């Protein structure tokens, strides 16, 4: 592999394959559909790996991502977002539904009525988003029937309900989040049935709560970060450092103040720092080290007593949030063979395009 100038992101393909396989096996054992969230990697190569491992389709966050992955050959997409279907959006959705099975989210009576008026009859299905405790979007679970009934009356097939148990992103939060997910989806299912709509899919899932999901209720899981991991998962205890597959190669450019300052800043790592995070990123080889301050092109590292790496030496940084880091680069450099002829081998590519980078709209 030719080495680009630092800082650059690297995917360890062997770890990636292991993570993808593990989640696929677990889904198979529990009889749950796996629909990985492609916003994490935005990469057709990783999507193909997930689909080849038995994923039923992909989850996406934006219409632009949906269009990109459809062009790349994915034939089953769920836009897990309360889409406000304006005129231009309706045209794009209709176009997309010609080439792929497509579902979108709705979380209000108004949103459902509008979606029905705009794309009813095109074969596009909807899932009602319900709030399971994360308090971002989603209607109260007991109102899912009302929203679903409006969607159906407006000409849309209602596939079921979905939620994002994002409150799993807190220290010790995963158990309560998985419990909230199960209860919210069960209540939503009852509400849909009471309104005459039989849900076929009850969709949940987040990486930190993945193994705790109540598969007696949840029929589909949509984790994203599980494929590559990040420092958040490490800190939450949701992934072991040996499974982290995304790192940023960085150079030590300064010893100012007796500390290591790296050339990887927020413009390649992202500036995400959750309340529970102990820094702005970590070093893969030094579990005690923390990035204690971060600007656009500088990361100041507290090495927690480990020896100061020499000026000009390189280290592997684990970004806090892989979804944010990946969206900052055009290429993921590949490490590991991934098997004979696979990515990173002599015959394979040395980088994968982040083809959906920046597709926010």
Q: Which residues bind its own copies (CB under 8 A)?
A: 4-8, 39, 61-64, 81-84, 86, 88-89, 107-108, 110-111, 114, 131, 135-139, 166, 251-257, 261, 263-268, 270-273, 293, 295-298, 300, 311-312, 321, 323-324, 327-330, 358, 360-361
Calculate helix-pair angle for 174-194, 144-153, nearest 10 degrees.
Answer: 50
Residues in the chain: 361
Cα–Cα distance between 21 and 306 in angstroms, integer? 35
Nearest to 71 by CA among 48, 50, 40, 100: 100
- Beta strands 246-254 and 260-262, pairing class: antiparallel
**Distance of closest approach, residue 290 Cβ to its own copies, in angstroms:** 16
Task: Tell me the CB-side half-sphere exposure of residue 340, using CA atoms within 13 A.
Answer: 0
**Distance of closest approach, residue 60 Cβ to its own copies, in angstroms:** 10
Closest to its own copies by CB, 186 or 253: 253
Closest to its own copies by CB, 17 or 249: 249
Closest to its own copies by CB, 12 or 272: 272
Task: Tell me the CB-side half-sphere exposure of residue 315, using CA atoms within 13 A.
Answer: 29
How is residue 303 written in tokens?
Answer: 């090495």
**Distance of closest approach, residue 174 Cβ to its own copies, in angstroms:** 17
**Distance of closest approach, residue 216 Cβ to its own copies, in angstroms:** 27
- Sequence-distant (≥ 6) Cβ neighbours of residue 361 within 8 angstroms: 62, 63, 64
Closest to its own copies by CB, 24 or 115: 115
Tell me, rounded to whole angstroms, the distance of Cα 101 from its chain centroid: 20
Closest to its own copies by CB, 3 or 75: 3
Closest to its own copies by CB, 156 or 269: 269
**Distance of closest approach, residue 111 Cβ to its own copies, in angstroms:** 7
Closest to its own copies by CB, 195 or 324: 324
**Distance of closest approach, residue 88 Cβ to its own copies, in angstroms:** 6
Closest to its own copies by CB, 27 or 187: 187
**How far from 44 is each of 33, 65, 114, CA to CA, in Å?**
20, 11, 32
The DSSP line for 294-356 is EETTEEEEE-TTSPPPPTT-EEEEEES-HHHHHTT-SEEEEES--STT-TTSTTS-SEEE-TT
Cα–Cα distance between 129 and 330 in angstroms, integer? 32
**Distance of closest approach, residue 187 Cβ to its own copies, in angstroms:** 16
**Distance of closest approach, residue 21 Cβ to its own copies, in angstroms:** 26
Nearest to 192 by CA among 202, 182, 183: 202
């Amino acid at each position: 592999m030719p080495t680009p100038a630092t800082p650059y992101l690297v995917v360890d393909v062997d770890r990636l394959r292991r993570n993808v396989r593990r989640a696929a096996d677990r889904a198979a054992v529990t009889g749950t559909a796996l629909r990985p969230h492609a916003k994490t990697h935005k990469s057709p190569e990783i999507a193909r790996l997930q689909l080849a491992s038995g994923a039923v389709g992909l989850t996406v966050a934006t219409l632009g991502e949906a269009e990109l992955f459809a062009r790349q050959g994915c034939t089953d997409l769920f836009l897990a977002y309360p889409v406000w279907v304006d005129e231009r959006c309706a045209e794009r959705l209709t176009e997309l539904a010609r080439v792929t099975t497509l579902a979108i989210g709705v979380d209000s009576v108004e949103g459902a009525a509008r979606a029905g008026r705009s794309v009813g009859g095109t074969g596009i299905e909807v899932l009602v988003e319900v709030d399971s405790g994360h308090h971002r979007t989603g209607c109260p679970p007991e109102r899912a029937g009302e929203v679903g009934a409006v969607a159906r009356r407006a000409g849309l097939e209602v596939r079921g309900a979905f939620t994002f148990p994002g409150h799993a992103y807190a220290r010790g939060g995963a158990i309560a989040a998985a419990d909230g997910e199960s209860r919210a989806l069960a209540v939503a299912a009852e509400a849909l049935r009471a309104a005459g709509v039989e849900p076929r899919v009850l969709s949940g899932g987040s990486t930190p709560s993945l193994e705790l999901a109540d598969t007696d209720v949840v029929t589909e899981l949509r984790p994203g970060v599980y494929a590559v991991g990040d420092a958040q998962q490490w800190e939450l205890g949701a992934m072991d450092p040996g499974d982290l597959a995304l790192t940023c190669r960085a150079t030590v450019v300064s010893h100012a103040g007796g500390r290591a300052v790296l050339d990887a800043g927020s413009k390649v790592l992202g500036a995400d720092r959750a309340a529970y995070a102990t820094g702005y990123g970590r070093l893969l080889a030094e579990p005690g080290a923390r990035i204690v301050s971060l600007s656009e092109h500088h990361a100041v590292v507290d090495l927690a007593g480990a020896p100061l790496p020499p000026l000009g030496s390189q280290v592997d940084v684990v970004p806090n949030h892989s979804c944010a880091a990946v969206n900052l680069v055009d290429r993921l450099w590949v490490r590991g063979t991934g098997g004979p002829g696979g990515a990173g081998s002599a015959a394979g590519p040395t980088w994968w395009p982040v083809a959906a980078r920046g597709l926010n709209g």
